A and B are shown apart, each in its own frame.
Chain A
Amino acid sequence: MPAAEANGRNSVTWWLRRRGLALCLLSLAGLFCLGPVLWQAVTSIKPDQDLVRLPPIIPERITASHYERVVSRSSLVQSLANSAVVAASATALAVVVGGLCAFALARLPIAGKPVLLGLVLSTSMFPPIAVISPLYLVMRGLGLRDTLIGVGLTHAVYALPLAIWILTSFFRQLPVELYYAARVDGCTPLRAMVSVLLPLARPGLAVSALLVFIFSWNEFMFALTLTASDATRTAPVAVAMFPGLYEIPWGDIAAASLLVTLPVAGLAALFQRHIVAGLTAGSVKG
């Protein structure tokens, strides 16, 4: 009996220890993931003179001056608006065009589907640098250089493989019978897709839209190359080229960084489960 009791107590301590260790590791992981972002948040509310001394790590005085300066005296607001327009139109284009293509790949009898899907996927592996010079020349030729249309179009095309990939797997999950039933009822394939399959594939549409939006919002190289003025610069480009005359305005950069991050980090945190589902679509079973 005493042996069993000791054993029981041991297993309780063992369980507690295991749980404590897990929580410890979890907080370490949390510090690793969020620490740098939190420090940027702290930096953004520290007065300038406090930025150049450490300690204290926890700020003694806080100020909104960096945010005020960034909002009123830089082109960041314009850049955020540009990013919103670019990302929204890229998302709309990629989801519509990608959705049609995904439906065709999933349900219609096209020849060479694996080849086509492979082709689509391989474009997502292109290094952007390999296309940037001709793309720049073409956009300049078309008069689309330094326009939001040029950037949005480029983003949409480079996000297309992702949208097609996710949506194809979502369309394939829907029962074939639904589609045939709609066809027998006299719908054209397009009509069957729009009024029968699309409502059911809504989670897939939402996921791909979310991922395309985040991709476009964060994209840097195309946006840097294809824009040349405050009127078209997207938010990441603005953050990268943050103006500093003599010294780097760390506080302003921190404030701008947070403003640019907030929309996408918020979306990602809100829809985290869907994002994971989308990223793993087709790559992991279950």
Chain B
Amino acid sequence: MTGESTTGTMRSKARVRLSERTWGYLLASPAFLLVGLVAVAPIAAALWLSLHRRLPVFGVDEFVGGWNYLQLWSDDRFWTACRTTLYFTALSVAAELLLGFALAILLDYLTNEMAGSSRWAQVMIVVPWAIPTVVSAQIWAWLYQPDYGLLNHLLHRAGLITRAIDWLADPDWAIHAAIVMDVWKTAPFAALLLLAGLKAVPRDLYAAARVDGAGTWQQFRHITLPLLMPVVVIVLIFRTMDAVRVFDAVYVLTGGGPGNSTETLSIYAYKTLFQTLQFGYGSTLATAMFLIVGALSCLYLLLLRRHLQEAA
């Protein structure tokens, strides 16, 4: 009786395993098919396009090999866009991480001490994250408005400025105005992830450290920070990738201007593709950006692996 049932299960298991694999490929294939068609194939096509000179308006479509990449190398506007993108990324990600950390610590404190207020605080913090980027750009464009925008009014009232600043028309201010907007929009996201990380830190560790006479700063430095490192790295990765690719926020706020002072790589590539309709050179720019993002993600994955190993 027992022997019979064991062989029965074994036989059915063997049959199951055989068909399970097929089932697996069957169920996974629609997703990979779609991703392949709509995401991977276009990358390859962009690479192919980038080797062409293609101006649909003039009916030009010729293979030029690496010519576009040579042109890219000597294109000042490309290098300026690179610098703008890096500047935007470095400043906004750093500010988001710091502000996100501060918000997360505040929320963590509230959850422990005043549970009622923390729920509302989390709802309030999720709002900037959920708002469409385009809308946040419009909101800030109105705040930055030089003549009757709220920002100038408040600064004037506080006695910090004597005459109105045209935030979005001044090349030195415009990029920083965009950064402030981006920080407002995304620091809450960083805060939410970091908060989840903070909550996962075992409370006993703090209690033990207090018994050993560790102060608040020492607890933070030797318990919170090391345990939170994996989350910090993940936030860094997510935010850097988003900041490097930034398009809609800056495009709607300034359109890349004044001059080219806020023109990021995405905006330059987009304008080349759809305003001057240079599909070949625009694809070269896009491909260059893909390579930059790819290099960055490899770098980050290496970083992440080390940190995760350290944590484990």
Looking at chain B's contact residues, the main secondary structure is helix
Residues of chain A lying within 8 A (CB to CB) of residue B143 = 36, 39
Scan A177-219; emit 1 where CB is below 8 A from any B CB, else 0.
0000001100011100100000000000000000000100110
Q: Least Cβ distance of B164 to chain A in Å? A: 11
Q: Answer whether A26 and B45 are a contact pair too, CB < 8 Å, given A160-B35, A268-B127, A272-B123.
A: no
A130 contacts which chain B residues (CB < 8 A)?
Answer: 42-43, 46, 286-287, 289-290, 293
- B89 at interface by CB-CB < 8 Å: no
Interface string of B196-221 (1 = CB under 8 A from A): 11011000000000000000000000
A104 near B43 with CB under 8 A, answer no
Q: Which residues of A contact B193 (CB under 8 A)?
A: 279-280, 283-284
Interchain pairs with CB closer than 8 A, number: 290
Give Cα A126 to B292, complex, Å.
11
CB 8 Å contact bits of A121-157 with B (1 = contact, 0 = none): 0110111111111111110000000000000011011
Q: Closest CB-CB distance, B289 to chain A, in whole Å?
A: 5
- Contact partner of B24 (CB less than 8 A), chosen from A30, A108, A127, A235, is A108
Interface residue stretch chosen among A1-9, A62-70, A256-264 = A256-264
A32 and B24 form a contact (CB under 8 A): no
Q: Is the CB of A135 within 8 A of B42?
A: yes
Question: Do residues B148 and A52 form an inter-chain contact, with CB atoms below 8 A?
Answer: yes
B279 contacts partner chain A, Cβ-Cβ < 8 Å: yes
User: In the complex, what's the smallest C-beta–C-beta distance from B188 to chain A, in angstroms?
Assistant: 6
- Check if B27 is an interface residue, CB within 8 A of chain A: yes
Determine whether the beta carbon of A220 is less than 8 Å from that of B142.
no
Given A127-B289, A257-B135: A34 and B127 within 8 A (CB)? yes
CB neighbours of A160 from chain B (8 A):
31, 34-35
Confirm or deny: B138 has a beta carbon within 8 angstroms of a beta carbon on chain A: yes
A265–B17 CA distance with the chains assembled, in angstroms: 46
Contacts of A100 in B (CB 8 A): 27-28, 30-31
Does B58 count as interface, using CB distance less than 8 angstroms?
no
Q: Is A164 an interface residue (CB 8 A)?
A: yes
When the two chains form their complex, are residues A22 and B139 in contact, meaning their CB atoms are under 8 A apart? no
Q: Is A33 an interface residue (CB 8 A)?
A: yes
User: Counting CB contacts under 8 A, is A275 at the interface?
Assistant: yes
Cβ A52 vs Cβ B39 within 8 A:
no
List, in ascending order, chain A residues with CB within 8 A of B38's CB. Answer: 131, 135, 153-154, 157-158
Contact partners of A157 in chain B: CB under 8 A: 34-35, 37-39
Specify the chain A residue showing the minimal Cβ separation from B118: A26
A74 CB–B CB distance under 8 Å = no
Cα of A61 to Cα of B31 in the assembled complex, Å: 54
Chain B nearest Cβ from A134, distance in angstroms:
3
Among A25, A98, A109, A126, which residue has its beta carbon within 8 angstroms of that of B43? A126
Interface contact A40-B39, CB-CB below 8 Å: no
Q: How far is the CA of A236 from the CA of B132 in the complex (A)?
A: 7
With CB as the reference atom, state the residue of chain B lying closest to A96: B30
Closest 3 CB pairs of A and B: A108-B24, A268-B130, A134-B45
Sample (22) of A-B pairs whose CB atoms are under 8 Å apart: A29-B103, A33-B125, A52-B148, A101-B27, A109-B17, A120-B35, A123-B35, A130-B293, A134-B41, A134-B43, A157-B39, A214-B130, A218-B133, A239-B134, A240-B134, A268-B126, A272-B123, A273-B122, A279-B189, A279-B192, A284-B197, A286-B200
Q: A126-B290, A134-B43, A183-B16 are in contact. List 14 more A-B contacts (CB 8 A).
A: A19-B114, A34-B124, A37-B139, A100-B28, A103-B27, A110-B21, A123-B39, A129-B289, A134-B283, A154-B38, A189-B20, A218-B133, A269-B123, A286-B200
Interface positions of B (Cβ within 8 A of A): 9, 12, 16-17, 19-21, 23-28, 30-32, 34-35, 37-43, 45-46, 49, 103, 106, 109-110, 113-114, 117, 121-140, 142-143, 145, 147-148, 150, 153, 184, 188-189, 192-193, 195-197, 199-200, 230-231, 234, 241, 244-245, 247-248, 251-252, 265-266, 269-270, 273-274, 279, 282-283, 286-287, 289-290, 293-294, 297
